Amino acid sequence: MNDALDVTLRLLIVFVVFLAFPLIVGQTEHKVMAHMQGRLGPMYAGGFHGWAQLVADGVKFAQKEDVVPAEADRRIFQLAPAVALLPYLLVLLAVPVGPGEGAVGQVVDAGIFFVLAVMGVGVLGSLMAGWSSANKFSLLGGLRTAAQLLAYELPMLLTAASVAMAAGTVSLVGILDAFEWWWLPWQIVGAIVFFVAGLAELQRPPFDMPVADSEIIFGAYTEYTGLRFALFLLAEYAGIVVLCGLTTVLFLGGWHGPWGADGLGWVWTLLKTAALAFVVIWLRVTYPRLREDQLQKLSWTLLVPLSLAQIALTGVVKVVIQ
């Protein structure tokens, strides 16, 4: 009975985090982006500096009509948002926040593989949406999504493998237990490659060719309205949370901090994740969208060689220090 309570509690906490953190990131994006452009951003909703803007957006989305195009493949069209969103919920289960068993939703033995595999499934949702909308822009968006996933999954995996080599385990908790501060400079190239590839996989600007709203009208999501569209948006922001959390865990040492008092490790994890989320927003504001060929070129001619070099470096250092 106690076990059941424990499981329920963990699931509940993860679910709350899953719903709350993307909204926080989204709200931060509203405000940070506005100020980086010399604007104020939302100011009204909720009274104080528009803190409830995304809640209001959610209410608005919920009120909208749920339209399925006549020519669309109805079932797949309706299923796609769930396929896009649920993987991130599963990934959050496995991301450790603090030291010990109590601070992770579920310890997964092959944590890295679980996380990367399930994140890859999320892209399937975009593909389903792109195909089933019966819209040429959506199809283009789906194609670009697929091409981008194929290009960027590889460097992401390779750099994650580099960390796994360094730690000698593929478990996220194990990696954090083995973490030393000098891994930071050792794995810095891998960290950057992982982060950039993750951004591309999430289709965040400047890698947002698949949803490029000014040329293919939000790509795979062109035909979506109301709640289903909101689910796709939620998936994007949940993806940011997951990517930042993963980068924190894999490369920035998670709960380790310079003056990490016991029991406050989760603060470090959250701080690092928040800082990375800020960087995600910052990059979005700063850089223009890459062209499709530039996107592919960046992955195959820069990120993949860099990640291979990182693996070589990791191997050499690992052998030397043993």
Query: Which residues contact other proteins (rule: CB under 8 A)?
Result: 32, 34-40, 43, 71-73, 76, 108-110, 113-114, 116-118, 120-121, 123-124, 127-128, 130-132, 134, 139, 142-143, 146-147, 149-150, 153, 157, 169-171, 282-283, 285-287
Cβ closer to other proteins: 156 or 231? 156
Cβ closer to other proteins: 118 or 212? 118
CA–chain centroid gap for 63, Å, is 27
Tokens of 304: 């993949």
Cβ closer to other proteins: 44 or 181? 44
Angstrom distance (rounded) from CA 94 to CA 12? 14
**Are the CB atoms for 53 and 31 separated by under 8 Å?**
no
Angstrom distance (rounded) from CA 271 to CA 261? 14
In angstroms, what is the minimal distance from the CB of 113 to other proteins?
A: 4
In angstroms, what is the minimal distance from the CB of 5 to other proteins?
A: 20
Half-sphere exposure for 53 (CA within 13 Å, toward CB):
17
Angstrom distance (rounded) from CA 116 to CA 97? 18
Angstrom distance (rounded) from CA 302 to CA 159? 13
Cβ closer to other proteins: 159 or 230? 159
Report the candidate in 219, 214, 235 with the shortest Cα–Cα distance to residue 147.
219
Report the candidate in 123, 101, 139, 118 with the shortest Cα–Cα distance to residue 10.
101
Cβ closer to other proteins: 72 or 176? 72
Rg (the chain; Cα; Å): 20
Residues 6+ apart with CB under 8 A from 154: 299, 304, 307
In angstroms, what is the minimal distance from the CB of 42 to other proteins?
A: 11
In angstroms, what is the minimal distance from the CB of 143 to other proteins?
A: 5
In angstroms, what is the minimal distance from the CB of 164 to other proteins?
A: 9
Cβ closer to other proteins: 126 or 187? 126
In angstroms, what is the minimal distance from the CB of 252 to other proteins?
A: 19
Angstrom distance (rounded) from CA 154 to CA 144? 16
In angstroms, what is the minimal distance from the CB of 273 to other proteins?
A: 20
Cβ closer to other proteins: 163 or 230? 163
